[in-house]
Structures are given as structure tokens and as C-alpha cells.
Amino acid sequence: MVDTVSVSFTVQQFELFERQAEAVGKSPSELIEGYLRDASSVSLDLRDVRIGPGRRRVDWSERVDFADLGDLREELRFEPVSGKAIPLQAGEVLLLRQFEGGQTIDFNAFNLRDYKECMSVGHSRRQGFHLHEGDVILSNSPRIRPMFYLLQVPDTCKVDTLAARCTAPLFELRFGFEWHTNCQDTIAEAIREYGLTPDDVHDSCNFFQNTMWDEEGIFWSDWNSGRPGDTVLLVACMDVLAVPVVCGSGDVTVTSNFSYKPIEVNVYAGSGKTASVVDAANEAFIAKRSSIGPDGYRNGRIKADRELRPDPNYRPDFRRYPMDTKTVEVAIDSGIRELVQKTGAQYGWSEEEAIRRIIVGRAVGAV
């Protein structure tokens, strides 16, 4: 016996159904009912439902040899505890290398042409808590563009996106130090050359930091496994200000094995191959319609004073508010109803909620 159930969807959910249905030559109703039937035989993996770029979506398989990095433009050695803000043009390559091994490198990055666009470990983390060769480092919302492509990452290097940069108050609260070397202050001093302030420092991407975590979400650092000569290569995907520093926590944490070591940082001029890497990264990660910059902001002015005051003329104008919905009659047979009732009982959902969550989960997981 087949019954119908009225299920409401947001217009955005229905827009997704319509696009998917058109792609496979079906009506939205046929697509929706197909997702319900599939749910009775194949369980939904919620890892497929998460939004974000996933892992290694850059369509780039051509090998880039060391000779393809271009001419050596700058060769630096950072002693503990120091760093430098280094400008790179799109297509140039940044090299980070261990001298003695076991040294964590904290990293910040800014758009060289607009410092308000900076690295976002939060969006980069959507590829995984640890980034890998073939992943990208992304900029902050609302732009979310590739800043670097990870061209080479050795197996001994964990590229961590979990641990926030260390800062002096942490060492005071934990150990009682009046002041201890830390990445917040080291990065702030490095970017001061370009007129930026400590407030412009953002959470670090941490190279050679072996973070681990458990099922409760507690994370910690394991011993640093970096070896002498281990090398990371990053291709700049825009004109950037890169800020690698020697992590300041290493003498009292295991991040750098209770010691400090120098690091090597080089810049290469790039080549046609690295320019092709940039094109591939931008094609894979830049949203063509919804990524906006200052020209598209309703308020694009950079605030000069620090105190926050309300605008007496402000009137909220949220896009697509209130959210419209569309009600669809969904056909379900006895087998589907049994699945819906079981799912609803497990999570405390109504019949309509269970049907909607199953269908939308399938649709999102199919992308």
C-alpha cells in the first residue's frame, strides 16, 4: 500500500533537487522518491554530507620537479625564536625546510593587495584536521580563495589546523612565566614591517606539529617527527605576504621536542608549471558567483576607530529572509514507512522531519 505524506522543504533545498533532477532527466518528485527508496538499502555516511571542498579536489597530476620551481630568489635562515614576513607573487614557491629536524613552524598569510583577506585555518580545515600534499590553504570569508597549494609535504610533516597559535598569557597561566617566547608575538613583530598590528595576527597553520585527538574531541601534540632536510613546498596562488616563524613554545612543550632549532626558508621564482598549478587550484576552489570582495560589500569601509557604536540609520536587510518553503507530496510504501518510523523513533523526529532529513541527506551526499 502506498500513502503520501506532505513534506515541506526550503526553496534552497528544492533548488538543489531541481538541479539534480535535470542532470539525470527526472522530475524533482521522482528524484525525491528515489532517494527515499535508496535509503532503505544503503545507509547514509554523514561524512559525505559535510560541506566544504573535501580532500584533494585540485585536478593536477603533472609532476613538478625541483627544477620547475624556477630561480632561487631569496634564501633565509631563521634562528630561534624569529621569523619574517615574505612577499610572494602568484606562482612563486615558498620552501620550508628542517635543518636539524623536530622544529614546528607556525604560519600566517595575508593577501598582499588587501590585508583584510588572510588565511583561514577554519575553512582550510574542511579538507581535514591535517592538510596533505595536494590540499590548499584557503583565505577567510566571504572570499574563500586559494592562498597556497601544498605541492610537497613529507610523510613526517603533519600540517596541523587544530592548535591555536601560542601566546604569552598561556605560559603565564600554565607555568607562571612573566613572559615566554610565543608565536603571537613573533608573528606580530614580523608583520610590523608592513604596518600590521598584533590584532592582525590570526590562527596559525602549523607545519610539523603532530596533533592527535580522541573520540571526545580532546587533542594534544605528540613528539615532533620532522627529520633533518625534510622539505615543504607551497605554491602561492595569489600575491601574498607569507609569515613563517620558529614556534616559540618548543622548550616547554613537545611540539618541538623540548628544544629550539633553526629553519631554512627559501623563495623560488616559479615557472610555467607552477603557474598551471595556480590555475588548477583557482578553478577547483573559487566560487564563481558567491565569492565577493569589498566592491560587493554593503559596507566596505575599514573601521578606523576601535569602539563599537550602533548606526542609528541601520535597518536589517538579510538576504532570502524570511525563508520561503515548498510543500511536496511524497509517496511512501510500507517498507519506506517502517524505515521512517524507525529513524524517527531513534532520534525523536516526527514523520515529516524523518522523511525530510533522509531525503536532504541523500541529496547533499550525492554532490
Reported as a single tens digit per residue, the pLDDT across 193-236 is: 999 999 999 999 999 999 999 999 999 999 999 999 999 999 99
Predicted pLDDT of residue 37:
86
Give this prediction's pTM.
Answer: 0.92
Q: Which residue has the higher pLDDT, 173 or 64?
A: 173
Residues in Cβ contact with 61 at an 8 Å cutoff, skipping those fewer than 6 apart? none
Can you list the domains of the chain with their CATH numbers?
3-53+323-365 (1.10.1220), 71-270 (no CATH)
| pLDDT at site 53 | 56
Element at 167 (helix H, strand E):
none
**Number of residues assigned to the chain:** 367
Mean pLDDT lowest among 17-31, 46-60, 198-212: 46-60
Rounded mean pLDDT of 57-70?
77
pLDDT, position 343? 86
Look over the chain and give the mean of its residue pLDDT values, rounded to a whole number.
Answer: 93
**Rg (alpha carbons) of the chain, rounded to whole number:** 25
Residue 307 in grid coordinates: 569602539
Q: What is the pLDDT of residue 3?
A: 86
pLDDT greater at residue 58 or residue 159:
159
How many degrees, rounded to 5, is the angle at CA 31 between CA 25 and CA 37? 135
pLDDT of residue 251 exceeding 70, the answer is yes
Least confident of 53-57, 82-86, 94-98, 116-120: 53-57
Q: What does the pLDDT read at residue 56?
A: 46
Query: Looking at 106-120, 181-195, 290-304, which range is the least confident one?
Result: 290-304
Cell of 163: 592548535
For residue 242, the SS3 value is strand
**Per-residue exposure over 326-350, b if at least 16 CB sit within 10 Å of its own CB, e if not:** eebebebeeebbebbeebbeeeebe
| 55 pLDDT tier (thresholds 50, 70, 90) | very low
Task: Show the cell assigned to 210.
Answer: 603532530
Whether the CB-CB separation of 106 and 81 falls below 8 Å is answered with: no
